[in-house]
């Protein structure tokens, strides 16, 4: 094991104490003070206390550990918990949470069209990379088309209800497919109408 393993074990013990778990061999005198806990836990002041346990925070380290808490320990512990050592799924989840945090009204807002577009865009980008690597994966292509259709519906709903937020989301992710206004024939006959210069 590396030389920072005792620091890593001590940090895990503190994290379990912060979460309310009882750790064997830990003495109450070793528990961090309330001031340390309050300063290390990422909290939003405008949200109620009961909400804090249900929020998935996008942090700079693995397993959702707060940056201030990890930085209290050695450099080797920070390297172990760095996102460079994270799996592809962990990196995708962190990227998705960061995208959601940029467009969510509250940490528990997961059903608004802006949040759905942010979440689906990250997943679509990852799935597009997989479809390029594995072009014969028909199931992935089918899932890709379904997710693109879901994002298109969410974009149209967001454009209809909140255009300013729609414009911010489109600029953030570089989306442009839903920006073009429908022409007269498309409004009259539907978007699939092509005769006479339709789209």
One-character DSSP codes across 172-183: HHT--TTTSPP-
Domain range list for the chain:
5-84, 87-180
pLDDT of amino acid 31: 43
Residue 192 buriedness (CB in 10 A; 0-12 / 13-18 / 19+):
exposed
Q: 3-state SS of the chain: helix, strand, coil percent to 5?
A: 60, 0, 35
Structure-token match 């209800």, residue found: 161
Nearest Cα to 55, choosing from 46, 185, 148, 4? Answer: 46
Distance CA 67, CA 85 (A): 16
pLDDT of amino acid 130: 94
pLDDT of amino acid 57: 56
Please state the rounded mean pLDDT for residues 85-90.
84
Q: Is the pLDDT of residue 51 over 90?
A: no
Identify which has the larger pLDDT, 31 or 83: 83
Using pLDDT thresholds of 50, 70 and 90, give the confidence band for residue 106: confident
Q: Is the pLDDT of residue 135 over 80?
A: yes
pLDDT of amino acid 46: 52
pLDDT of amino acid 21: 39
**Orientation of helix 113-133 relative to helix 138-161, angle to 10°:** 160
Please state the rounded mean pLDDT for residues 158-174.
89
Please state the rounded mean pLDDT for residues 173-186.
62
The overall average pLDDT reported for the chain is 72
Percent over 70 (pLDDT), the chain: 59
Distance CA 102, CA 89 (A): 20
pLDDT tens, position by position, 140-158? 999 999 999 999 999 988 9
> In CATH, what is the architecture of 87-180?
Orthogonal Bundle (1.10)
Nearest Cα to 65, choosing from 3, 110, 12? Answer: 12
């Amino acid at each position: 094991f590396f030389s920072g393993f005792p620091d890593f074990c001590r940090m895990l013990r503190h994290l379990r104490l912060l979460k309310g778990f009882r750790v064997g061999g830990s003495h109450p005198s070793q528990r961090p003070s309330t001031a340390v806990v309050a300063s290390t836990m990422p909290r939003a002041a405008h949200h109620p206390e009961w909400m804090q346990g249900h929020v998935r925070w996008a942090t700079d380290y693995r397993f959702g550990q707060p940056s201030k808490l990890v930085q209290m320990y050695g450099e080797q512990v920070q390297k172990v918990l760095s996102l460079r050592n994270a799996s592809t799924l962990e990196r995708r989840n962190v990227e998705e949470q960061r995208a959601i945090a940029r467009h969510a009204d509250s940490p528990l807002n997961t059903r608004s069209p802006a949040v759905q577009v942010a979440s689906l865009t990250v997943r679509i980008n990852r799935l597009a990379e997989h479809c390029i690597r594995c072009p014969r994966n028909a199931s992935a292509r089918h899932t890709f088309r379904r997710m693109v259709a879901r994002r298109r519906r969410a974009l149209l709903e967001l454009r209809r209800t909140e255009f300013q937020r729609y414009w911010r989301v489109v600029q953030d992710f570089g989306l442009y497919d839903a920006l073009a206004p429908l022409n007269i024939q498309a409004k009259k006959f539907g978007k699939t109408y092509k005769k006479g210069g339709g789209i």
